[in-house]
A and B are shown apart, each in its own frame.
Chain A
Amino acid sequence: MAGAASTTGPGATADRKIVAFCCRECAYAAADASANARTPLPPTVRLVLMPCTGRVSPLHLLSALAEGADGVMVAGCLLGQCHYREGNFHAVDRVAFVQRLLRSVGVEPERCRMFTMSAGEPPKFVAAVREMDRVIGGLPPLPRSEDGGGRKAASAGGASSLAAGEPLVAARGAA
């Protein structure tokens, strides 16, 4: 299944970055399985291991977009098969919320997407990543202010702790 022709296709260029929040039980397991089969993936994608997609908050998605990512994806278990029963339903809601938020500030909502798969469906994971890469490749880089914007700019120093709540409170206001 591997092959140079099928690596990335007409995807995003090397400077793009897609952060994939993957749940440990299904999506990350599917990613591992596809990787063990040496299935090529576009290098734009960066995996972040999460216990459950229920842990992914709008803060994570918005901060990632604000601080360097051109796209974010949340990959979890099939709906109804969450290992914590409800986590991915929360994730679906939050992704939809972030999409509405992006649209309202003039950012393409497809920069944030939710995918579901079982641990036994590596091709679904591969397809999801490639789809994301194709979509982001079709969009211009996400414009940012010179200082990078987001919380790094807000909290001078870069690695200091997050001022709890600020981004989310803003997000809730928008909702």
Chain B
Amino acid sequence: MRAGVFLCECGGNISGVVDLGPLAEHARSLDGVVAVSINQFMCGTEGRALIEKAVEERGLDHFVIASCSPRFQGPTFERIARELRLGENAVAFGNIREGCSYVHAQEPERAQVKARKIVEGAVARLHHMSDLPRQRTFLSRSVLVVGGGIAGMSAAEELAATGIEVHLVERQQSIGGYMARLSKTFPTEDCAMCSLAPRLTGTAINSRIHLHALSDVTAITGPPGEFSVTVRHRPRYVNEKCVGCGECAAVCPVTYPNDFDFGVSERTAVHRPFANAVPATFAIDRKGWSPCKTACPVHTSAHGYVALVAKGRYEEAWRVASEPNPFPSVCGRICTHVCETECTRGNVDDPIAIAGIKRFVADHGAPAELPAPLPVFYDEPIAIVGGGPAGLTAARELAQFGYKATVFEALPVAGGMLRVGIPEYRLPRDVLQGEVDRITALGVELKTGQRCGTDFTVDSLFADGYKAVFMATGLHQSKDLPIPGLDQEGVLRAVELLRAQALGEQPSTGKRVVVVGGGDVAYDAGRTAFRCGADEVTLACIEDERTAPASSEEIEEGKQEQVHVEYSLLPVEILGSGGIASGVKFQRCTLGAPNERGWRPPLPVEGEYVELSGDTVIFAVGQAIVADFTAGAEGVVVERGQIGVDPDTMMTGRRGVFAGGDAAAMGPWTAIEAIAAGRRGARAVHNFLRGELLVPVWDSEADKVKIPHTELEPFEPQARRIMKTLDGVARRTTWEEVRLGFSEEDVREEAARCLDCAVCSDCKSCVTACPADAIDFDQKAWDEEITVGAVILATGHQEFDAMRKLPLGYSRFRNVLTQSQLARLLSASGPTAGELKRPSDGEVPRRIFMLQCVGSRDCTSSGNEHCSAICCLFATLHSSLIKQHYPDAEITIGYTDMRTPGKAHEEYYRLVQERGVRYVRGRVGEILEEQDGSLTVRLENTMTGSKSEEAYDLVVLSAGLEGSKGTQDIARVAGVQTAAAGFIRELHPKLAPVDTQRTGMFLCGTAQGPKNIPDSIAQAKAAAARAISMLSTGFAMTPAQVAASDVSVCIGCGVCEASCPQTAIVLTLGADAHSVVDPNICRGCGICAAECPTGAIQLGGFSDDEVLAEATV
């Protein structure tokens, strides 16, 4: 080391007390010192020249400045060292002025000794000082502003004016923030929207401001100056063709609480929050597929037709219900309706009666005339084997794609199991035939009485020119059990009984019938037996009551018709004599553990037998495939009772032959699954013929959402409507339909129970209504990566949730509002056009009470400690507006303390007092609702101590401010801290009010804390100025005085990571875990270095060696 020591006289301030000559002599004797000089003012040009000369001539690499406090001239000498290329950390300071001559002037001898020690200490320190690395950071001249409220817009405007590119990200569909929702602003009482609208337009047309509405910032990585930001754009479902005409909203059937109006009005799913919105396009509030739509195998938008029914639009509802499903009236009657099982409302009270609504839609909304035949685009004819739900659905789908489809049906009637498996009293024949007719009307050819394998073969179909075959032959044979006595007279099979009845054969059963089986088919057979003359029907199944496989409707209706059911019985023998059955012998059983297919085998209980006597025994224990079509169908393989298909393409072992429905079911045997299989089959055939064989026919999962009921808007519990039926016993002799359907009144009330949990109902009414073709349901969320130099957080606040103050009755009592809600009611552009109408009856309230400090200045667990700063004047403003509009109004403001600091605020408060608003210093214990909706306020006057009960027409709560949810979210993403009530913490409450703890990230507006509009704007401009000053040079150096970790010493304990207040330190993972300091974030406090147990982490310029060298001299 070659060190210089420069002693400053400071014009006598130092040399008047300390004799610098001997001090210089002493310094010259110190280890490493090669040059010593004394000057009158080391900080002047002469001093600088001395240093330069010594560095040049004596080859100094370090030097000591013994002069004033390093807090004064330290930076000057550090700059000189840097300019002389001695690097960072080349100067040590001996504070011999403030540290010596100034304070020991009365004791010059001791001062002299101390000065020697100070210089010794500084020289000792030099021995341990080495250059500190600094990183050069490129600064992107662009800024991310998060939050498009008044603060975010103001910052963006200011930044853009200096030529910086701004990315303004707003979570809502329009910018404007809270201010756009206010009526007027204090103390000038000018219209909020009037002052905001030019800003909105200005932001929209500014070419340097890139607006990302309906978007979230999901990640911020990288160093300051070059932050890499991920912006997730949520779909609007309305594209840029939108002209803002509002035709879509006019037809939207969904009504949802209007969040823009804080719930005091309702809006449609497709909407624009306010007329001046930016962007001006509408957007659809759509969370995804409602659970009902997701659950449905064909994804019928149940929510869609339910919403339309609630509005009395039955024809449109029919269009929605029949779009994916050619059998709406069938499914309205006999569907297993998993949609109801999944209904969100079912988690809270009862699910919507979706099937009943659908039946009403099909019965009353279907157009009277049949559709016109569809044009055929493709010249490949397609054969469909089987005219059941799967085959007919496939035929309709293919016709809609543009194919000529021919359906071959073995029976004399079309409909498959819908026709011959489901009894007429559940599904009237004419209803089914109506829907079959609608399919054939499209140009689908139906050939009945044509059995595959007998009347024609698959080979012959291809020979006849068909290019693809879809096999949907179903399961039309009853399964038998391997027990003795099956061949006796009086033993029937359910499938055969039902088919015979359906085909008009009028089968007869005995008087006392035992049905073996407990599923829907068993019930259908038993109930059909009643109608064929039975007096007594007993069902016996292996399941117990809890696991009974039949649908709840069948069980309920069976009970009404007095079908007797025996559970947990395993048939072992058909009893009888002389070839005539007389009953069934059962063994009591339990169910074993489910096997890999979910089936639970019956476990017989030893020695427990039960006999049921009867003259007829009907077997309903399952169905099997009739595999008579395989002749001339090489490659089509029946295995395990099903036609084998590739699950992704539905193709059988023979090219061009597909199969679906019950015959190739890979799931439950229900009508709706068969319909879904038909749709997939049509898609598979189409993909095959169009050369896209590998495209899977199953649905994508992308849109499926589950809405937790905690996210629902509040609603009143309400029981679901019960559909009327024919009388239970009397109907046993008639084939009339048992269930009578809903009345129009019932169906509309039932439909109105829908919670619109996914908001948009996917009814697509807007698609039809839009004249600009702007609705686009195919939009998907997408991520965009942008690079910015700095970030400004302006994500704002939200109103304290007044529901947390239970005694005040908010949300329980209709006439208790918050100031924000009142702002909407008083706003000229609000839901009442500025007329103050109380929610319960629309009357103008005369006596109004406003309660201050709701959730503010509140040390209980349900409130916040801080003062929300704006509420005193917010209430005063609203009182003044009401008083001017309704001079008769009597307004009382119950306050804790009136706080009106700020320009012209106290004057405004006095003015409003003079306008006749009554201010009472008091707290409210409780608010009670009277019969007529008026409210009794129990008030304690904290001035006089008196308690009173006062009656009011309307109560308005001045709920305080909290950091918004967006603020919490962005704090997490940006890695900045939040403090009490969710506001983002500034770097220093006084000295750095718009900086965050992360370099290059600034904050402004109510995300930082409660404040009014001008303060938000002022802070926004300050934040913009901070960003501009940071980015103006184009590059930056990281500071020298930052912590750094020596990986060879670090043991990876993580103490530093935990102690860093800036979260600048992270621990790497793995066996050689060690700490890494981000110099962009580190602010150089050194806490980590003091905490480190091994000395691995050291603070630049303040290493242990440097500090101790000086301290121990």
**B is a partner of A:** yes
| Residues of A participating in the B interface, judged by any CB pair closer than 8 Å | 4, 7-8, 14, 19, 21, 24, 28-29, 31-32, 34-36, 38-41, 43, 46-52, 54-57, 59-60, 63-64, 67-69, 83-87, 90, 94, 150-152, 159, 161-162, 164-165, 168-169, 172
- Beyond A40-B106, A64-B1111, A152-B1112, whether A172 also contacts B1093 by CB under 8 A is yes
Q: Would you list the 8 A-B pairs with minimal beta carbon distance, nearest first?
A: A55-B1086, A164-B1095, A35-B98, A84-B1085, A54-B1087, A57-B1090, A67-B1112, A43-B110
A-chain residues with CB within 8 Å of residue B127 when the two chains form the complex = 159
Judging by beta carbons under 8 Å apart, are A35 and B103 in contact?
Answer: yes
Which of these binds chain A: B649-657, B913-921, B1098-1106?
B1098-1106
B-chain residues with CB within 8 Å of residue A41 when the two chains form the complex = 103-104
B180 CB, min distance to chain A CBs, angstroms = 36
Judging by beta carbons under 8 Å apart, are A55 and B1099 in contact?
Answer: yes
Please give 12 more A-B residue pairs, beta carbons under 8 A apart, in addition to A32-B69, A87-B1086: A14-B110, A14-B113, A35-B69, A35-B102, A40-B106, A43-B114, A46-B121, A46-B1111, A55-B1086, A57-B1089, A67-B1112, A169-B1093
B534 CB, min distance to chain A CBs, angstroms = 85
Q: Which residue of B lies closest to A148 (CB)?
A: B1112
**B1109 located at the interface, meaning its Cβ lies under 8 Å from any Cβ of chain A in the complex:** yes
Q: How far is the CA of A48 from the CA of B1096 in the complex (A)?
A: 22
Judging by beta carbons under 8 Å apart, are B71 and A29 in contact?
Answer: yes
B-chain residues with CB within 8 Å of residue A51 when the two chains form the complex = 1041, 1084-1086, 1099, 1102
Judging by beta carbons under 8 Å apart, are A63 and B1111 in contact?
Answer: yes
- Beyond A32-B69, A159-B127, whether A47 also contacts B99 by CB under 8 A is yes
Judging by beta carbons under 8 Å apart, are B104 and A60 in contact?
Answer: no
Classify the interface of chain A: helix, strand, loop or mixed.
mixed
Of residues 979 through 1018 on chain B, the ones whose CB sits less than 8 Å from some CB of chain A are: 988, 991
Judging by beta carbons under 8 Å apart, are A24 and B1086 in contact?
Answer: no
A-chain residues with CB within 8 Å of residue B69 when the two chains form the complex = 28, 31-32, 35
A-chain residues with CB within 8 Å of residue B414 when the two chains form the complex = none
Q: How far is the CA of A49 from the CA of B125 in the complex (A)?
A: 12
- In this complex, how many residues of chain B approach chain A with their Cβ under 8 Å: the count is 57
Judging by beta carbons under 8 Å apart, are A90 and B1059 in contact?
Answer: yes
A91 CB, min distance to chain B CBs, angstroms = 8
Q: Which residue of B lies closest to A21 (CB)?
A: B1111
Q: Which residue of B lies closest to A68 (CB)?
A: B1112
Q: Which residue of B lies closest to A126 (CB)?
A: B103
B30 CB, min distance to chain A CBs, angstroms = 11
Q: Which of B111, B1059, B1087, B1112 contacts A52 (CB 8 A)?
A: B1087
Q: Which of A43, A56, A164 contacts B104 (CB 8 A)?
A: A43
Judging by beta carbons under 8 Å apart, are B1086 and A52 in contact?
Answer: yes
Judging by beta carbons under 8 Å apart, are B1084 and A162 in contact?
Answer: no
Chain B 110-132, CB-CB to A under 8 Å as 1, else 0, gives 11011001100100100110000
Judging by beta carbons under 8 Å apart, are B1090 and A94 in contact?
Answer: yes
Q: Which residue of B lies closest to A52 (CB)?
A: B1085
Judging by beta carbons under 8 Å apart, are B105 and A40 in contact?
Answer: yes
A-chain residues with CB within 8 Å of residue B105 when the two chains form the complex = 38, 40
A112 CB, min distance to chain B CBs, angstroms = 13
Judging by beta carbons under 8 Å apart, are B110 and A159 in contact?
Answer: no
Judging by beta carbons under 8 Å apart, are A162 and B102 in contact?
Answer: no
Q: How far is the CA of A67 from the CA of B1091 in the complex (A)?
A: 22
Judging by beta carbons under 8 Å apart, are A168 and B1093 in contact?
Answer: yes
**B756 located at the interface, meaning its Cβ lies under 8 Å from any Cβ of chain A in the complex:** no
- Beyond A38-B102, A43-B110, whether A165 also contacts B1094 by CB under 8 A is yes
Judging by beta carbons under 8 Å apart, are A50 and B106 in contact?
Answer: no
**B70 located at the interface, meaning its Cβ lies under 8 Å from any Cβ of chain A in the complex:** yes
Judging by beta carbons under 8 Å apart, are A7 and B1059 in contact?
Answer: no
A-chain residues with CB within 8 Å of residue B1061 when the two chains form the complex = 84-87
Judging by beta carbons under 8 Å apart, are B1089 and A40 in contact?
Answer: no
- Beyond A29-B71, A32-B72, whether A86 also contacts B114 by CB under 8 A is no
Of residues 127 through 141 on chain B, the ones whose CB sits less than 8 Å from some CB of chain A are: 127-128
Judging by beta carbons under 8 Å apart, are A46 and B117 in contact?
Answer: yes
Judging by beta carbons under 8 Å apart, are A86 and B1087 in contact?
Answer: yes
A-chain residues with CB within 8 Å of residue B118 when the two chains form the complex = 46
Judging by beta carbons under 8 Å apart, are B70 and A64 in contact?
Answer: no
**B648 located at the interface, meaning its Cβ lies under 8 Å from any Cβ of chain A in the complex:** no
Judging by beta carbons under 8 Å apart, are B1112 and A162 in contact?
Answer: no
**B396 located at the interface, meaning its Cβ lies under 8 Å from any Cβ of chain A in the complex:** no
Of residues 74 through 110 on chain B, the ones whose CB sits less than 8 Å from some CB of chain A are: 93, 95, 97-100, 102-107, 110
Q: How far is the CA of A63 from the CA of B1090 in the complex (A)?
A: 14
Chain B 40-72, CB-CB to A under 8 Å as 1, else 0, gives 000000000000000000000000000001111
Of residues 1059 through 1090 on chain B, the ones whose CB sits less than 8 Å from some CB of chain A are: 1059, 1061-1062, 1083-1087, 1089-1090
Q: Which of B98, B107, B1102 contacts A36 (CB 8 A)?
A: B98
Judging by beta carbons under 8 Å apart, are B114 and A35 in contact?
Answer: no
Kindly name the residue among B127, B1089, B1090, B1102 whose own CB sees the greatest number of chain A CB atoms within 10 A. Answer: B1090
**B769 located at the interface, meaning its Cβ lies under 8 Å from any Cβ of chain A in the complex:** no
B991 CB, min distance to chain A CBs, angstroms = 8
A-chain residues with CB within 8 Å of residue B72 when the two chains form the complex = 32
Q: List 13 A-B contacts (CB under 8 A).
A: A31-B69, A35-B103, A55-B1085, A55-B1099, A59-B1104, A85-B1061, A86-B1087, A90-B1087, A159-B124, A159-B128, A162-B1095, A165-B1095, A169-B1093
Kindly name the residue among A43, A50, A169 whose own CB sees the greatest number of chain B CB atoms within 10 A. Answer: A43
B-chain residues with CB within 8 Å of residue A29 when the two chains form the complex = 71
Q: Which residue of B lies closest to A152 (CB)?
A: B1112
Judging by beta carbons under 8 Å apart, are B1094 and A164 in contact?
Answer: yes
Judging by beta carbons under 8 Å apart, are B103 and A87 in contact?
Answer: no
Q: How far is the CA of A17 from the CA of B478 in the complex (A)?
A: 106
- Beyond A55-B1086, A68-B1112, whether A38 also contacts B1059 by CB under 8 A is no
A-chain residues with CB within 8 Å of residue B1085 when the two chains form the complex = 51-52, 54-55, 83-84, 87
Judging by beta carbons under 8 Å apart, are B1091 and A90 in contact?
Answer: yes
Q: Which of B103, B1049, B1091 contacts A39 (CB 8 A)?
A: B103
B-chain residues with CB within 8 Å of residue A32 when the two chains form the complex = 69, 71-72, 98
Q: How far is the CA of A19 from the CA of B69 in the complex (A)?
A: 16
Q: Which residue of A lies closest to B32 (CB)?
A: A159
Judging by beta carbons under 8 Å apart, are B1107 and A60 in contact?
Answer: yes
Judging by beta carbons under 8 Å apart, are B1107 and A48 in contact?
Answer: yes
Judging by beta carbons under 8 Å apart, are A168 and B1086 in contact?
Answer: no
Q: Which residue of A lies closest to B70 (CB)?
A: A49
B210 CB, min distance to chain A CBs, angstroms = 35
A-chain residues with CB within 8 Å of residue B70 when the two chains form the complex = 49
**B9 located at the interface, meaning its Cβ lies under 8 Å from any Cβ of chain A in the complex:** no
